[in-house]
């Protein structure tokens, strides 16, 4: 029951946060501030999705442990990949935006992957 409720909450949150990054515009400073807020929202969605998957795996400690390990490694990968991408513009005003858009894009993909692998009714 808890898993079903978590999935329902995630669906509502995902729908409202979908493509919020496309609404970030105007000056560089405004876009950067907006992207920080979108990153926080998407990270929150990721954490909720991850916790729902862990809850669903509660009966399977080895699988939950593997997911925890994978999630830690994925976070390191995401941060490194986005840093490498933004480093292409090091010193430029677009670098923070490049990093932010990358984090949002990869995090949304991870949310979809976790939902597909652990929360879908296959």
Sketch the domain layout of the chain as residue ranges: 2-17+25-119
* Its pTM surpasses 0.85: no
pLDDT surpasses 90 at 55: yes
Give the pLDDT score at 13: 42
Q: Work out the burial of residue 40: count CB atoms within 10 Å of its CB; fewer than 13 is exposed, 13-18 middle, 19 or more buried.
A: exposed
Interatomic CA distance for residues 66 and 107, integer angstroms:
19
The DSSP letter of residue 27 is: S
Residue 122 pLDDT grade (very low, low, confident, very high; cuts 50, 70, 90): low
pLDDT surpasses 80 at 12: no
Which of helix, strand or coil describes residue 26?
Answer: coil
Residue length of the chain:
122
Instruction: Give me the CATH topology for the region 2-17+25-119.
Output: Substrate Binding Domain Of Dnak; Chain:A; Domain 2 (1.20.1270)
């Amino acid at each position: 029951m808890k898993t079903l409720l978590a999935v329902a909450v995630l669906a509502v949150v995902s729908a409202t946060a979908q493509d919020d990054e496309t609404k970030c515009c105007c000056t560089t400073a405004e876009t950067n501030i907006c992207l920080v807020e979108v990153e926080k929202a998407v990270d929150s969605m990721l954490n909720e999705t991850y916790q729902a998957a862990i809850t669903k795996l509660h009966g399977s400690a080895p699988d939950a442990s593997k997911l925890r390990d994978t999630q830690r490694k994925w976070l390191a990968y995401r941060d490194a990949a986005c840093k490498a991408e933004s480093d292409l513009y090091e010193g430029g005003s677009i670098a923070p935006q490049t990093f932010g858009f990358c984090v949002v894009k990869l995090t949304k993909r991870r949310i979809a992957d976790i939902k597909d692998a652990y929360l879908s009714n296959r």
